[in-house]
Amino acid sequence: MRINAKRVSTVALILLITLTAALFIGGHQPGSGKLFPPPWDKVVHLLFYGSTATLAGLAFTRLSIPIIILGTITLGIADEIHQIFVPGRHPGFDDLIADAVGICIAALLIPMFRKRLLPPLQ
């Protein structure tokens, strides 16, 4: 079965936009910080930011892995800053560490996904 690289990138971009919108819209709801009790909240951070980095790596195929890491960790920092302004939420360095772990795991997997799902760059 032949994989359409353009379709993979387009679907990844749509999912990336959807996840980012869900992060800021859903995360703006008071009490949304209590959806997942500790330590499961850190697992959610790891999975969310790992998925976000992976989708970014598939959506923006010409970006290097360090740029994807930088962009995704910037998103995590923006989320933590955003929490300052939401009642019942508070930023945490521990959340940012969980984000970074997920992003680093994704950074190791992105080259494999690119190789399997996307043709070599011309």
Number of domains in the chain: 1
Rounded to the nearest 5°, which phi and psi values hold at 86?
Answer: -110, 120
**Is the full-model pTM beyond 0.75?**
yes
Quote the Cα angle for 99-20-33, to 5°. Answer: 60
Give the domain range for residue 57: 5-117
Dump the DSSP string for the chain: ----HHHHHHHHHHHHHHHHHHHHHHTTSTTGGGSS-TTHHHHHHHHHHHHHHHHHHHHSTTS-HHHHHHHHHHHHHHHHHHHTTSTT----HHHHHHHHHHHHHHHHHHHHHHHHHSPPP-
Is pLDDT at 121 greater than 60 in this prediction?
A: no
Tokens representing 27? 């995360």
User: 88 lies in a domain?
Assistant: yes
The 10 Å Cβ neighbour count of residue 73 is 17
Q: Which residue has the higher pLDDT, 119 or 94?
A: 94
User: 122 lies in a domain?
Assistant: no
User: 111 lies in a domain?
Assistant: yes
User: 56 lies in a domain?
Assistant: yes
CA dihedral sign, ordered 73, 74, 76, 80? positive
Q: Kindly report, residue by residue over 58-103, the tens digit of the pLDDT.
A: 999 999 999 999 999 999 999 999 888 888 888 899 999 999 999 9
User: 23 lies in a domain?
Assistant: yes
